[in-house]
Amino acid sequence: MPPPIVALVGPVPPWRSGIADQTLRLARAMAHLGVAPRVFTFRRMYPRFLYPGKGTGDFLEGEEGPALATLDGLNPFSFYSTSRKILISGPSLVVIPWWTAYFAPHVLLLLSGLSRGSSSSSSRPTTLLLCHNVFDHEPHLFTDALTRAVLRRADRFVAQSARNAGEILRVRPGARVEIVPHPSEPRAVIPDRAAARARLGVPVDAPVFLFSGLLRPYKGWDVLLDAFPAVRKEFPAALLVLAGEPWGEARDLATRAPAGVRLELRYQPEQERAEWFAACDAVVCPYRNATGSGIAADALAFSRPVIGTSVDGLSGIVEDGTSGLLVPPGDAAALASAMVRFVREGLGPRLSAGAAHRRAVFTPEEHARRVLAAGGIDV
C-alpha cells in the first residue's frame, strides 16, 4: 500500500523564526516515518512594519523534498491558488501551522479553496491546525474574532498545552483536539563547553545564563534585567547573555543593560546559537505567558537546564527540580532567587542530567507520529 499523502503548509528556513525551524523539523521527522510531506512555504511573509527580521538565501531541497514557495503573506489570495496545487497531489491530510491572526484571511481562503476544489466531501482532505498559539500574544477584539473564524473552519487541531486546547474548545465545543507538546531534538554533536567559551570570549569559570530568541515583551526579558543585579551581587563574575533580534523597546537595550550583561542583538545563525547553548550553564525563559517554547526545547536538546516561569508553555516541557527551575511569571525577585540558588547549590550537573533525559523522551519523530495520528494517519 502506498504511503498516505500529506501537505504541510507553513514557513521553513531561510525564514527566521522558531515556527519555521519547527516546521522543517516536522517535515524531516515525517519523512523519517515514511510519510514525506509536500511542503508549501512562503516567498514573502510579513510587511516590514510588522516584522523587523527577514529571510535570506534560497529555498533548499532537503530530505523532506523541495519546498514550493507559493505563499505570499501580502496577498491572501495566494493561499487560495495554493489550495489548487495542494489538491492536485491528492493529499488525505493538510497540516497548517497556526500562530497569529495576521494570517487568518490567508488560512480562511486556503480552507475555502480546499473545500470548493474537492469533487465531494469524501475526497476533501482533512485539515489540521497545528497551533503554536491559538490567540495572539497581544489580544485585540478584531484579531480574536479572526482567530475564531479560522477555528470554526478547520477539521482537527493539535495544541501544545492544556490552555491552548481549552481555548479551542471554548470556540468549538466537541472539536477533535490533541495535546502534543513541543518536541526536543537530541543533538548528535554538542559543542565542547570550554571550547565554545573560548571561541565566544567567555570566562571559563563564570556562571553564564543565556536568554535566546526574539526579544519580545511577552518573553519577559525586562523582568530578567530587573532580576540580574541581585544575581551579580551574590556572584560578581556571573554573566547574562541576551542573544536574539530585538523588538520595540529592546532596541534600546544598550542604554539600559546592567553590569554583567552581554548583548548579542541580532539574528543568531544555527552554529552560533549552538555555541551559546554549549557555553551557558542554564537557559533563562522568564516568559509572562507562553503556550510553547522552542527555546526551552532547544535548551533540553543541548542538555541545558531551564530557569523559567510556571506558564503553560514551559510547565509542559520543563520539570521543576528535575530539568530546571520554575518561578511565578513577572516576579523578578523570585527569578533572581532561582538563579542564585542554581549557582549556590551547584544544581547545574543534576539539572543538566534531567534535561538530557527529557530530550530523549519526546523526539521530533514522536511528535510527528502524534501529529499524524491526530490527523487520522497511523504510522
How does residue 118 score in pLDDT terms, banded at 50, 70 and 90?
Answer: low
Q: Is it the case that residue 360 has pLDDT exceeding 80?
A: no
CATH topology of domain 6-183+363-374: Rossmann fold (3.40.50)
Q: Is it the case that residue 133 has pLDDT exceeding 70?
A: yes
- Quote the pTM value: 0.75
Q: State the Rg of the chain over Cα.
A: 21
Domain boundaries, the chain: 6-183+363-374, 193-359
Strand, coil or helix: 223: helix
Query: Rounded to an integer, what distance in angstroms lies between the CA atom of residue 37 and that of residue 16?
Result: 21
Grid cell, residue 373, equals 495520528
Q: Is it the case that residue 269 has pLDDT exceeding 70?
A: yes
Q: Is it the case that residue 175 has pLDDT exceeding 70?
A: yes
Q: Is it the case that residue 64 has pLDDT exceeding 70?
A: no
CB-count exposure of residue 248 (10 Å: 0-12, 13-18, 19+): exposed
Which amino acid is present at 345? E
Q: Is it the case that residue 58 has pLDDT exceeding 70?
A: no
Grid cell, residue 340, equals 542564585
CATH topology of domain 193-359: Rossmann fold (3.40.50)
Q: Is it the case that residue 236 has pLDDT exceeding 90?
A: yes
Higher pLDDT, 50 or 246: 246
CB 13 within 8 A of CB 351: no
Q: What is the mean pLDDT of the chain?
A: 88
**What is the side-by-side order of every strand in the sheet holding 239-243?**
261-264, 239-243, 208-212, 282-285, 306-309, 324-327
Among candidate residues 217, 78, 88, 76, the one with its CA nearest the CA of residue 150: 76
Grid cell, residue 271, equals 552554529
How does residue 19 score in pLDDT terms, banded at 50, 70 and 90?
Answer: confident
Check residue 186 and give its pLDDT: 63
CB 56 within 8 A of CB 14: yes
Query: What beta strand segments (E) does the chain contain?
Result: 6-9, 38-44, 61-62, 65-72, 93-98, 126-131, 156-159, 176-179, 208-212, 239-243, 261-264, 282-285, 306-309, 324-327
How does residue 60 score in pLDDT terms, banded at 50, 70 and 90?
Answer: very low
Query: Rounded to an integer, what distance in angstroms lies between the CA atom of residue 75 and that of residue 342?
Result: 49
Check residue 156 and give its pLDDT: 98
Q: Is it the case that residue 113 has pLDDT exceeding 90?
A: yes
How does residue 247 score in pLDDT terms, banded at 50, 70 and 90?
Answer: confident
Predicted confidence (pLDDT) per residue in 78-96, tens digit: 999 999 999 998 999 999 9
For range 304-331, the mean pLDDT: 90
Q: Is it the case that residue 188 has pLDDT exceeding 70?
A: no
Higher pLDDT, 64 or 104: 104
Q: Is it the case that residue 164 has pLDDT exceeding 50?
A: yes
Pairing outcome for strands 65-72 and 61-62 = antiparallel
Give whole-number Cα distances, 299 to 238, 264, 308, 311, 318, in Å. Answer: 19, 18, 12, 17, 10
Check residue 76 and give its pLDDT: 96
Q: Does the fold of domain 193-359 match that of domain 6-183+363-374?
A: yes
